[in-house]
Amino acid sequence: MAPIARLFDFIVIGGGSGGLACARRAASYGAKVALIEGSGRLGGTCVNVGCVPKKVMFNGASIVEALEDAKHYGINVGSHTFDWGFLKQARDAYVKRLNGIYATNVAKDNVEYVDGEASFISSTEIRVNDAVLSAKHILIATGGHPIIPALEGAEHGIDSDGFFDLEAQPKKVAVVGSGYIGIELAGIFRALGSDVTVFTRTAHILRHHDSIIGDTMMAEMKRLGVKFEHNMSAHGIKRHEGAELPLELSWSTSGQEGVSSGSYDCVLWAVGRAPNTKALNLGALPEVEINKTGHIVADEYQNTKIPGVYTLGDVYGKSELTPVAIAAGRKLADRLFGGERFAGSKLDYVNIPTVIFGHPTAGTVGLTENEARQAYGDDGIKVYQTRFTNMYYSLTPYKPPTAMKLVVAGPEEKVVGLHLIGRGCDEILQGFGVAIKMGATKKDFDNCVAIHPTSSEEVVTMR
């Protein structure tokens, strides 16, 4: 006998940032909500193997850098060592506490947490474990996962999830990939003392960001001792048991004959991410459209092609950032359950600020210079730039750069892009993101009195 379906107003598949935010907001309006998560822990990528533990590692790396800076201010910190295992244990305990806080908040908000893998029976029914759940509204917020390339021996490497499983610090690391994830983890490894080489398919890094960020980041990483292999294609990994550096990575370089190889004790693949859809049995929903990257297609209101089925976050694939998923989730819940005043509620995906926790940090919002030229034409934009050394480094023999670019468009010089890299830029960007979202012009920036002495004052004094 088939199980009797349990009825809900809203079923959310995925207990990551977007799913949690949407489920809790819906429940706040009195909706009966089920939240399904199959990993055994709430929080998704961000809390467990992403933003949060990454920032802890970044903080540790930044402290090591500060200890080096201290002597130039007359502060004698003596010798110091770094214990990777200690930091991992403390970091994991912190993440576990967050998992518990999420579970508590879900229960407090009267969201029913169902531990298990969800698969569609129909557009209104979900099978999870031995139960069937039914709802008029179902959200797919299952997130994504890092890709391991289909190369010989690739399984001997790790991905960004595996970074957080490392029990000891590798001596020599190959990071294959030069997007923000690879660059962030390469910077952490290097600051904590590992020998690091970044492998990239082109002559550049961070290619989806403005060139001022990628070029400045690469130059500073090289100064810090990170090596780069450009224009390369990875061939695979061979494992040599018992060797001090057991992983032999092989690759070819465009324009050069032959195959090169190097030995490492850690190879980290940072070659992209893919959406989590395999377990969902989307074959039961033939009307749902999947694009060429495997993401679920939806409109600006997060509606899929099937009424009552929605998607957002990394499985949707647009601006794959935690705060984006949270904001989209809350907007969706407002529209579905918040009454007539939220009937048009949706997330505006334009001018979303984002930060790279590299060494140095970087931040960006709006169009790159190239994107602005394509949108407005060469004569329709103007670019303001500045480079300087943060005063923090006034007493150090090394002078890491800070670089800023303001892209404006039209005769009113509306700000359509802001790109920052250098110490503190991660914290600088948020306020300027508000201004740009409100439609600020260069004149508005000019009319703001500078705060001195800060790096941020340069944003409002560029000429």
- Catalytic sites, residue numbers: 452
Q: CA–CA separation, 264 vs 256, rounded Å?
A: 22
Q: CA–CA separation, 50 vs 65, rounded Å?
A: 22
Structure-token pair, residue 194: 């590992």
| C-beta of residue 186 within 8 angstroms of C-beta of residue 179 | no
Residue at 123: amino acid letter? S
Structure-token pair, residue 154: 């690739």
| C-beta of residue 42 within 8 angstroms of C-beta of residue 15 | yes
92 by Cβ neighbours in 10 Å (0-12 / 13-18 / 19+) ranks as middle
Q: CA–CA separation, 53 vs 65, rounded Å?
A: 19
Residue 104, C-beta contacts closer than 8 angstroms, at least 6 positions apart: none
Collapse the DSSP code of 462 into the 3-class scheme (helix H, G, I; strand E, B; otherwise coil) and give the result.
coil
Looking up tokens 């947490």 gives 113
Residue at 159: amino acid letter? D
Q: Which of 396, 405, 69, 402 lies closest to 217 in space, CA to CA?
A: 402
| C-beta of residue 56 within 8 angstroms of C-beta of residue 357 | no
Residue 264, C-beta contacts closer than 8 angstroms, at least 6 positions apart: 170, 172, 173, 174, 197, 245, 247, 248, 249
Q: Determine what percent of the chain falls in helix, strand and coil, rounding each to the nearest 5.
A: 35, 25, 40
Q: CA–CA separation, 416 vs 405, rounded Å?
A: 11
| C-beta of residue 18 within 8 angstroms of C-beta of residue 329 | yes
341 by Cβ neighbours in 10 Å (0-12 / 13-18 / 19+) ranks as exposed
